[in-house]
């Protein structure tokens, strides 16, 4: 179990800067996610940590060891790719054993470690099967066993679930977290799927244009995004232009076209001036609907379109000729000409710099 530290990491491809002076600390035993839109630099960062790319600037540390100049095979990382990269002509057991054979490990130890690795992913009974005889989920487990069998210092995963159907992805999320925690592995996981990051990760970093825009636990990043980019990418939200007043102790009043809200500043170090332009982010599920008005953070309107999904309804709510999205949990309301009131807690009103 090791920590991973990245300092001032810069990687260029021709005139394109893929990583722009990235600093990051991943704690020992942590499952850490790199998340962001296509082309943001997350896979480049993972491959630089693995040693497949050499940076123009900066350093990569595994614990106290500077591994920046080491080739991939000397870093002893376990890698899982989107394509699995399994040998189709080999059995499951041979695929898992391949890395150990390349390292000239003794046959008895190879047999023992392959058995342990396959057992950890619940595939021990498939050791003699060929890869083409396995389902996609089973192949994914074999790829994970192959990464684990070398007893890596850390596990690096590049969108490993993207080729699976929705049901298998859901199943394997829990399995990957279980295996990493039981094995005591530090893991860095690249994905564009926010649900994977929120459900598996201990912490995550959202990247954009080769830079890290926010780092935090899934709860921190979801509940307190520090920018419009993060608020838009993680989950869904309503973004409203606003002007800010009375900013004190991380709280402020924000006036929008649908009403005035008392809310929380996205960055405790940011104290906007009175009248400063800003943005307000309110997630759809944070609104509550009532037939009576409230004195704080309350807007009057009506539902003009609604999709009923059983446990929740997705409403288009129109107020002051502006439409916002409201997700009503355990729904009681539907499309109607009746005026109702939408209310939101100040903790769920996030005021962002423009």
45 found inside a domain: yes
d(CA 130, CA 111): 17
Give per-residue burial for 225-258: e unless 16+ CB within 10 Å, then b. Answer: bbbbbbbebbbebbebebbbeebeeeebbbbbeb
> Which residues form the domain of 40?
4-223
Asked if residue 18 has pLDDT above 80, the reply is: yes
Exposed, middle or buried: residue 94 (CB in 10 Å: 0-12, 13-18, 19+)? middle
Question: Mean pLDDT over residues 238-253, rounded?
Answer: 95
Asked if residue 268 has pLDDT above 90, the reply is: no
Question: Mean pLDDT over residues 333-345, rounded?
Answer: 88
| Residue 315 · residue 333 · CB < 8 Å | yes
| Residue 46 · residue 54 · CB < 8 Å | no
Q: Note whether 147 and 198 are same-domain residues.
A: yes
- Helices 92-102, 107-120: axis angle to 10 degrees equals 130
| pLDDT tens string 286-306 | 999 999 999 999 999 999 999
Residue 162 has what pLDDT? 79
pTM of the model: 0.88
Q: Note whether 219 and 246 are same-domain residues.
A: no
Give the whole-number percent of the chain exceeding pLDDT 90.
68
Domain of 30: which CATH number?
3.40.50.300
11 found inside a domain: yes
Q: Note whether 207 and 272 are same-domain residues.
A: no
Number of domains in the chain: 2
Exposed, middle or buried: residue 108 (CB in 10 Å: 0-12, 13-18, 19+)? exposed
Picking from 245, 327, 254, the residue whose alpha carbon sits closest to that of residue 288 is 327
| pLDDT tens string 180-228 | 898 889 999 999 888 889 999 999 999 999 999 999 999 999 999 999 9
């Amino acid at each position: 179990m090791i920590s991973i530290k990245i300092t001032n990491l810069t990687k260029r491809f021709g005139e394109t800067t893929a990583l722009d002076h990235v600093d990051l600390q991943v704690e020992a035993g942590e499952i850490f996610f790199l998340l962001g839109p296509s082309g943001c630099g997350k896979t480049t960062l993972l491959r630089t940590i693995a040693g497949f790319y050499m940076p123009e600037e900066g350093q990569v540390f595994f614990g106290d060891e500077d591994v920046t100049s080491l080739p991939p095979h000397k870093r002893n990382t376990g890698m899982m790719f989107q394509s699995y990269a399994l040998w189709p002509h080999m059995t499951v057991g041979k695929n898992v054993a391949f890395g150990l054979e390349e390292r000239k490990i003794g046959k008895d130890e190879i047999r023992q470690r392959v058995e342990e690795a396959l057992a950890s992913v619940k595939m021990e009974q498939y050791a003699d099967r060929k890869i083409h005889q396995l389902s996609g989920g089973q192949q994914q487990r074999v790829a994970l066993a192959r990464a684990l069998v070398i007893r890596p210092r850390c596990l690096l995963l590049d969108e490993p679930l993207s080729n699976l159907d929705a049901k298998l992805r859901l199943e394997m999320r829990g399995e990957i977290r279980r295996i990493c925690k039981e094995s005591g592995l530090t893991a860095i996981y690249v994905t564009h799927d926010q649900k994977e990051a929120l459900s598996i990760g201990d912490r995550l970093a959202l990247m954009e244009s080769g830079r890290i825009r926010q780092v935090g636990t899934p709860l921190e990043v979801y509940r307190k995004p520090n920018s419009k980019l993060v608020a838009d990418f993680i989950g869904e939200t309503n973004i409203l232009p606003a002007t800010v007043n009375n900013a004190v102790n991380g709280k402020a009043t924000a006036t929008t076209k649908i009403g005035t809200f008392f809310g929380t500043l996205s960055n405790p170090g940011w104290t906007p001036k009175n009248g400063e332009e800003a943005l307000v982010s309110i997630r759809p599920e944070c609104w509550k609907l009532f037939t009576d008005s409230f004195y704080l953070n309350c807007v009057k309107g009506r539902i003009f379109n609604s999709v009923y999904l059983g446990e929740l309804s997705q409403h288009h709510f129109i107020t002051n000729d502006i439409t916002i999205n409201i997700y009503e949990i355990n729904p009681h309301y539907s499309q109607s000409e009746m005026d109702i009131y939408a209310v939101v807690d100040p903790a769920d009103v996030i005021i962002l710099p423009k």
